[in-house]
């Protein structure tokens, strides 16, 4: 596909370093997220830890985005702006999306956390979304097609009664946070460009408990489910290699 930049082994190693920064920050945030904590506090914690790791935020200032972290609670799908008045409570689900630059290379990952004791329906949504990412990563091998990755997400979540968000997609990643190709969470197996060694993708299922429709709130960023249902989001950056998928954003 036009514009896809294949990365060398040395460049993938640099991307791994950036993604390990992202993983470490998300681990810190996951440990801190609890009832009574605001999403603003989590953003401040992310900024502090990022500075400690001598890396730069990927989100802050991107197209005017005002924070280091995206923190999306319950029916917010993605791009939730951290706020002092959004305070976590027992039973919430919280999607944390975070990106960082290290030595000029970008890392990007997301995970959805269960705050306290959540409903069985919320737990099932989070589990299905996490599983769909693993199914997609299994398809990230040389010779498969991009549609195989997309269909892995769609088929897994729809079989469980959930819907994939079609308005947002995963993406290539490298020196820029968003590079070709787009990686939709729906598609047809066997279609699209073949996966080649050196491709690096940020695969990120966004899955709604209800319908797939999205509403963007007045701040121009916060994306919520149109029907008010819950939404979950997981993301990993993965390199396509001759030895199989190399997930860069986990240990």
Q: For residue 90, what is the domain's CATH number?
A: 3.90.230.10
Q: Domain total for the chain? A: 1
Let me know if residue 2 belongs to a domain: no
pLDDT digits (tens, 9 = 90+) for 71-114: 999 999 999 999 999 999 999 999 999 999 999 999 999 999 99
Whether cis (ω within 30° of 0) applies to the bond prior to 181 is yes
Contact 233, 206 (CB under 8 A): yes
pLDDT digits (tens, 9 = 90+) for 138-172: 999 999 999 999 999 999 999 999 999 999 999 99
Let me know if residue 1 belongs to a domain: no
pLDDT at 1: 54
For 23, other C-beta atoms within 10 Å of its C-beta total: 22
What's the rounded Cα separation, in Å, for the pair 225 and 80?
12
Let me know if residue 59 belongs to a domain: yes
Domain that includes residue 61, residue range: 9-247
H-only helix segments in the chain: 9-32, 39-52, 120-138, 146-158
Whether residue 198 has pLDDT greater than 80? yes
pLDDT at 3: 87
Tokens 């996490």 sit on residue: 130
Let me know if residue 3 belongs to a domain: no
Let me know if residue 69 belongs to a domain: yes
pLDDT at 169: 98
pLDDT digits (tens, 9 = 90+) for 230-242: 999 999 999 999 9
pLDDT digits (tens, 9 = 90+) for 48-68: 999 999 999 999 999 999 999
Average pLDDT, the chain: 98
Let me know if residue 200 belongs to a domain: yes
Assign 183 to helix, strand or coil. strand
Q: What tokens appear for 211 in the block?
A: 């319908």
Name 243's Cβ contacts closer than 8 Å, sequence gap at least 6: none
pTM of the full structure = 0.97
Name 211's Cβ contacts closer than 8 Å, sequence gap at least 6: 163, 225, 226, 227, 229
Confidence of residue 122 (pLDDT cuts 50, 70, 90): very high
Let me know if residue 185 belongs to a domain: yes
Q: What tokens appear for 111 in the block?
A: 């995970």
What's the rounded Cα separation, in Å, for the pair 71 and 94?
7
């Amino acid at each position: 596909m036009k514009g896809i930049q294949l990365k060398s082994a040395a460049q993938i190693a640099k991307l791994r370093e950036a993604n390990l920064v992202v993983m470490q920050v998300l681990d810190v945030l996951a440990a801190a997220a609890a009832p009574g904590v605001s999403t603003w506090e989590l953003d401040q914690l992310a900024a502090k830890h990022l500075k400690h790791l001598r890396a730069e935020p990927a989100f802050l200032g991107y197209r005017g985005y005002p924070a280091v972290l995206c923190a999306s609670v319950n029916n917010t799908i993605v791009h939730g702006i951290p706020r002092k008045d959004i305070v976590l409570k027992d039973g919430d689900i919280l999607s944390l999306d975070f990106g960082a630059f290290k030595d000029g290379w970008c890392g990007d990952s997301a995970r959805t956390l269960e705050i306290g004791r959540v409903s069985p329906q919320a737990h099932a949504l989070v589990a299905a979304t996490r599983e769909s990412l693993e199914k997609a990563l299994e398809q990230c091998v040389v010779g498969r097609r991009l549609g195989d990755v997309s269909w892995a997400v769609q088929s897994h979540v729809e079989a469980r009664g959930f819907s994939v968000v079609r308005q947002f997609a995963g993406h290539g990643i490298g020196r820029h946070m968003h590079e070709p190709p787009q990686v939709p969470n729906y598609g047809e197996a066997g279609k699209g460009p073949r996966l080649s060694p050196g491709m690096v993708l940020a695969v990120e299922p966004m899955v709604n408990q209800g319908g797939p429709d999205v509403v963007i709130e007045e701040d121009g960023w916060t994306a919520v489910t149109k029907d008010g249902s819950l939404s979950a989001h997981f993301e990993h950056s993965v390199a396509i290699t001759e030895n199989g998928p190399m997930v860069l954003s986990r240990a």
